[in-house]
Amino acid sequence: MNLLWMRPAFGEQGLSPDERRIREFLDCPGGVSESALSLAAKLDVGPRRCRRILEQLVEQGIVERRDYADMEPMYFRFPTR
């Protein structure tokens, strides 16, 4: 079962196009390791909007956030085998 889409059917309908694009990108079978700025640039989404969506996904346990002293936070999602 795909963790990115474990929401009630009515919830999926309420997703914004930005959130849907970010979730689809994160659903990559090989995994993802991105900063919010990098992902925002790739998907043509506002950086603050992208970071807000990623933080919501962190709260839901879908992606993991790692903070670094010398660079911006990175968001990870690697499927389990």
CATH T-level assignment (fold) for domain 16-77:
Arc Repressor Mutant, subunit A (1.10.10)
Mean pLDDT of the chain: 85
Mean pLDDT across the stretch 47-70? 94
32 φ, ψ to 5°?
Answer: -140, 140
d(CA 61, CA 67): 16
Length of the chain: 81
pLDDT of 78 > 50? The answer is yes
d(CA 3, CA 28): 12
d(CA 51, CA 35): 9
- Supply the pLDDT for residue 14: 74
Alpha helices by DSSP H, the chain:
9-13, 17-26, 36-43, 47-59
Q: Could you tell me the residue ranges of all domains in the chain?
A: 16-77
pTM (2 d.p.):
0.80
